Structures are given as C-alpha cells and as structure tokens.
Amino acid sequence: MIPLKTTAVYFSATETSKRNVEAIAETFAADYKSIDLTRFDSAGKDRYFDKDDLVIIGAPVYSGRIYCGAAERFHTLHGDQTPCLITVTYGNRHYDDALLELKDLMTQQGFRVIAGAALIGEHTYGDIQKGRPNDQDLEETIRFAERIREELASDQVSEPVIPGKHPYRDGGNGGGFRPLTDDSCNRCHLCEKECPLGAIHEDCITIDGNRCIACFRCIRICPVGAKNMNTPEYTDFARDFSNKLAIRRENEYF
C-alpha cells in the first residue's frame, strides 16, 4: 500500500542531501512535506509518524559515518513501524558504515527501513565530483524511487541488505578547517543564522572552533564571498585530496 503522507527529512549543510531526498519524496507525492534539521535552531522538537506515513531520510557522510550531529537530531524522529527510505550522500571516497548506521538508528527509532541509497555529491573540499548530483544522478535516483513505489503498491517490499560492519569505524566528526572572513563582510548575519552548530558569533567573524564542523556552509551561502579558505595549507590539501579522489564513483541502491 502506498503511504498516505510523505515527508522528506534531512541534515544538509551544502544541500546535496536535500536535493537527493526531495527528488525521492516528489516521486511518491507532489505535496510531500520537508523537515530541515540542518540549522542549529532546528534541534529539540520531537516528531511522530505512524504506519500511514513514508519518511525519506538524508544525511551526509563524514569519514565513513553519518555526521554525529545529524544522528543526534534524527533521535527526535519517532516511528510506529513507519516505512522509511534512507540515503547518505558522500564525496567520492566511500560511505563505509554510514548507511548501516543510519538503518540501525532509524530502526531503533521505530521505523521500518524499506530501501537505502548511497549517493555521490560534490565534496565539501577541493574539486571532487563537481556538480553532483547532476541530472543523470537524479534520474537514476528517481527511477530507484519509482521501483520502490511499485513494490509498496503491491506489498512486496522486503528489508534491504545494507553494507557495513559492526562495530562501526571511527568517524562522524567534523573537519579541522576553520573558515576565514575578509574585509568585504557586510555583517548581514546570514552565516550566523544558517550555521548548523551555531558556531559563528554575532560579529559574523569569530568562529567557535569547538563547534565548527568545517562544512563550509557559510562559504557557500555568503552573498558577498567574504567567507573563504584562502590559505596555502588548505590550497595544498585541496589539490592533493582532489587528485586522490579523482576516479568517478557511482550511486548505489539497495
């Protein structure tokens, strides 16, 4: 049976997970709802779903695990054997245990995982898989969602076999880089408001190094390009990292 309500839920600092999840959700229902758990002020509200719901989950991979902050926010989701389709988005290295970890988490929260996907997205650092997910990626993901929709309609959905290992590998933490701010900053406060961890102070310049996860959301959304990583250390790292991960990887569906 096709669920009556579809909800897309995501933590997506650079909006790649969001694009994937919403493409899937729209395949099931044009009037789907979105729950964005990215901003620091999105945490804390519990949400409950029943058997008539379908929940699509999206999270980024950090060193082979789902980002720990995203995992914390997904603990506010509660299901009642609610059908759930899980996705992780990663930047071309590997997703390792992230998809299995997300499956375990959502099962623990009362959801019934019916399918999963490990999807390629443009990496936060360097020039790795630029522009992905592209139109071809999204078409593949939509075809996957259509197949799952057909299986739901015919009551032929079975629990997917998700790759990964127990215990999980170490990972899930933020990166070590800290964005800089140049003199073009006009104090619009967009970076402060949109930071996933509330790491940017009211002056729009000072960054709490203990909170920042180096997602570079502030760099991507700054309307005047004031936020940057213009340092020799980052430039060298990004070049080497881009060369290391230059071979294209494909999306995987389960």
- State residue 253's pLDDT score: 98
Residue 44, pLDDT score: 79
pTM metric for this prediction: 0.95
**Whole-number CA gyration radius for the chain:** 18
Handedness of CA 107, 112, 117, 121 (dihedral sign): negative
- Span 31-65, pLDDT tens digits: 999 999 999 998 778 999 999 999 999 999 999 99
pLDDT at position 155 is 87
Q: What is the pLDDT of residue 3?
A: 76
Helix axes 16-28, 135-153, angle to 10 degrees: 40
Q: In the chain, which residues have pLDDT < 70? A: none
Contact between 92 and 128 (Cβ < 8 Å): yes
Contacts 24+ apart (CB under 8 A), 188-191: 188/223, 188/224, 190/221, 190/222, 190/223, 191/217, 191/218, 191/221, 191/222, 191/227
pLDDT tens-digit profile of 107-145?
999 999 999 999 999 999 999 999 999 999 999 999 999
In this structure, what DSSP letter does residue 168 have? P
pLDDT for 241 equals 94
